[in-house]
Chains A and B, each alone.
Chain A
C-alpha cells in the first residue's frame, strides 16, 4: 500500500561506515578482494550490512563495545575479548563453518555471493540480541516494506476492483504473520531453545515466553486509538493488513520475550531485506514471485457478503445497468426432501450470475453473490506492475493499470 524509497531504506539500516581495512569476514576470506576499495554503493552496502569484525582476532571473539562504537573516532573504540558463551548471539565468524546455514542457502537457491554472515544475522531476533548491529531489526523493517509493496501492487494491479477489506485479507493471506511463520517452517527453519553466543548460528534465536505467562504488553492487542477507525486510517496509519493498531516496531522488542511466530516472521522479512541489499531488486522480485506468489490463494473465497442482493442493485445503479432481476432457470424436486433451484440474476438480457440452492431465496442470494464476485474479481488480460519498470530504460512494455472507482457504498 505504501510507497517507499528503497535505496533510502537500505542506507538507513546499514552500519555506520567503518575503516576501509576492517572488511567483513566474508570479504576477508576472499583474498583476491582484499585490496579492492569498495567503490560502488552496492559493494559498500554489502560490507556494512554484516557488522564488520576484523578477522585477525585472537582465540576469543573480539567485538566493538556497543556504547563505545557511537564515538566518532574508530580509535576510541574499546576492544574486549569475549568467550562465545558471553556473547548474546553467535559471532559472525561462526557462520562460515555452519552446515545448517550452507544447507539453508542452497535450499532457498540463493547464489554463493549472498554471504552466510548476513544469513546468520537475519536469524537473530532483537529479543535475543539487543545490539542493532547484530540483530535483524533493521533488515526486517526493510523486508516488511518490500513484502508489503510487492504483494499489494500485485493484488491491486491483478484485481483492480477488489474491495479494500478483501484486499487487506488477501495481503494478510500472502504475507501476514501466520503466513510468514508458515513460510519459515516450510523453509526448514528450526528455533534454538535459548539464544546464546555458543550455539549453532543456523538456528532461529529469540527469547521465548516462559510457560504459563501471557503475551508481553507491547504485543497484546490494544484498544483502537479512536472509536471510528476508518478505512483511510487503516491504509495510511497502521500496517499493511488493515489492523486497527500499528504493530510494535522491530527495535522496540529488545529483551522482550516473544512468541515463535513473531521471531519466524521477522526472519522472513529480514531475509527479504538482506537480499535486497546484497543482490539487488531484480533478484528479490524473482525470489518474491517464486516463494510467495507461487502459493495458492483463491481470492473468491475471501468474500463475506451480508446483503448481496442490495449490493448488486447498487452496483447496477452506479454503473448504469438495468436493475437486476432474479429468474428461475431450472428446478428439481420442489416437493421432495432435497429440492434444487438454479436461479440466474439478469440485468436486461445479460445474465450477471447464476447460483444453486435448496430454496428459492438461497439460490437468489447465491446468484447475486456470484454476480458481485464476477464484478469485483475482474482481471485485466495484460498486467504490468509498477515495480517492473524500476531501473529499466525501455518502458515500451508498460501498460497503464486500470484504476477503479472502488467498491459500492451501501
Chain B
C-alpha cells in the first residue's frame, strides 16, 4: 500500500461556527433559618426567575441545605464542578457570584503565558541561515 491514512478526531473549537456555554447547570442551596442565607433567599424569590430566563441553556435547581451556609454549585461540560459560598451576601452579590459561575469555563485558573495560542502550524518554515538578510561569505 503506497499511501495509507492516519486516523484522528477533529478538534472542537468552541465559538467557531457554534458556541456551547460551558456551564451546564447551577444549583442554589439555601437555608431557611440561618441569617447567612438572607440575601440568597431574597435572590431566589426576586431575581432567580430573571436569571433563569436570561440563561435558558443552564439547568437550574434550588434545594434546601438546612443549618449550613448558602452555596452555589455549578457543573461544567468538561466534568468539573465549581462552588462558591455566598454566606452573608446580599441579593446583588449572589447574582454576581452566579454570573461568575456562568461565565467560567470550568477549567482551573491559570496564567496565560504566550499571547497567541494557535492550532495552526507556523507559516515561516524551518530556520535557514541564507534566508532573510543577505549573508556574505
Contacts and interface: CB of A to CB of B under 8 A. Distances in A.
Interface of A: 99-100, 102-103, 106-109, 163, 165-166, 168-170, 172-174, 176, 178-179, 182-183, 185-188, 289-298, 301-307, 310-311, 330, 332, 340, 342, 356, 407, 410
Given A107-B20, A107-B21, A182 B12 contact: yes
B8 A302 contact: yes
Nearest to B77: A188
A306 B3 CA distance: 6
Interface in B1-37: 1-14, 16-18, 20-21, 24-25
B52 to A, nearest CB: 9
A377 to B, nearest CB: 13
Contact of B1 (A109, A296, A306, A340): A306
A166 B3 contact: yes
14 contacts: A99-B61, A100-B59, A103-B59, A107-B24, A169-B8, A186-B12, A186-B20, A296-B11, A303-B6, A310-B2, A340-B126, A340-B128, A342-B128, A410-B2
Nearest to B16: A294
Given A186-B14, A293-B17, 19 more contacts: A103-B25, A103-B59, A106-B56, A107-B21, A108-B20, A168-B5, A170-B5, A173-B7, A173-B10, A178-B9, A179-B9, A185-B77, A186-B12, A186-B77, A289-B17, A295-B12, A295-B13, A296-B10, A330-B129
Nearest to B18: A290
A103 B4 contact: no
B5 to A, nearest CB: 4
B57 interface: yes
Contact of A303 (B3, B13, B58, B121): B3
Contacts of A311: 2-3
Nearest to A354: B125
Nearest to B130: A330
B18 A109 contact: yes
Smallest CB-CB A-B distances: 3 pairs: A294-B17, A169-B5, A106-B56
Contacts of B121: 298
B57 A107 contact: yes
Given A103-B56, A186-B20, A297 B10 contact: yes
Contacts of A304: 3-6
A265 to B, nearest CB: 12
A292 B17 CA distance: 8
B60 interface: yes
Contacts of A187: 20, 77
A302 B6 contact: yes
Contact of A188 (B1, B10, B13, B24): B24
B5 A303 contact: yes
